[in-house]
Amino acid sequence: MADFNIPKHIAIIMDGNGRWAKKRGLPKIAGHSAGVEAARNVVEAAADIGIKVLTLYTFSTENWKRPKAEVDALFRLLENYLDKETDKLNKNNIRFRAIGDIDAFPPSLKDRLRRTMESTAANTGLVLNLALNYGSRGEILMAARKAAADICSGKLKAGDLDEKRFSGYLYTWDLPDPDLVIRTSGEMRVSNFLLWQISYAEIYVTDKLWPDFDKADLANAVSEYRSRERRFGG
């Protein structure tokens, strides 16, 4: 039987900004700017559909390998987005979250991220969750170290460490696992994204580059999800 419920949690690997810009003879930062606009539209669409959590893979731990000028431009785009959108997030009852090691970011960006999280903390609608300086292998190692420390201190018995308790050490400890993972640009990989959390997620890949992904595309992905039978290994 098909599952006609909408996904509670959608996670998106937003890929293709650079290729979008290259196809148009534009600098890569123009693709990132267009990607921000696409993200804004998808956030609105997710809230309208009734999605509970939207996680966007915004800046991975591997993205530090990009040219410094590009990284700095990405940080400015993110800070500008938060400056412009925080009031709108509150107006639309959207709660802003970030997962990852944001302490590595420039002070002004860290401050802006924390202020936006604090400003929207009481909102009860869509949770907009940005993965920033995030890598899933690093997250799992962090969780394993925390669990090991609790075992060594006697706070936790080794035999009591099960999947549910281990999940409590992850960045997403208070969020449901993703039901649907969307990847744009046609790439067939998960790129170190939420490896623990997406164990039973449905995967939807589109050839569209991220800046071209719009509200209709999100609706199509959700429709495809609803047509699938989820067995969870059964």
Cβ contact 3:224 at 8 Å: no
CB-count exposure of residue 130 (10 Å: 0-12, 13-18, 19+): buried
The Cα 37–Cα 211 span in angstroms is 7
The Cα 35–Cα 15 span in angstroms is 9
Query: Could you give the 3-state DSSP secondary structure of residue 134?
Result: strand
Which H or E element spans position 80? helix 68-91
Name the catalytic one among 3, 5, 17, 63: 63
Known catalytic membership, residue 92? no
Among all chains, which residue has been given the structure tokens 């201190």?
Answer: 153
The strand order across the sheet containing 127-134 reads 95-99, 127-134, 53-60, 9-13, 180-183, 202-205
**In DSSP terms, which residues pair with 180 in a beta bridge?**
10, 202
Cβ contact 227:202 at 8 Å: no
180-183 and 127-134 as β-strands: parallel, antiparallel, unpaired? unpaired
Structure tokens at 98: 């970030």
Among all chains, which residue has been given the structure tokens 């869509």?
Answer: 126
Known catalytic membership, residue 15? yes
Catalytic annotation, residues: 15, 63
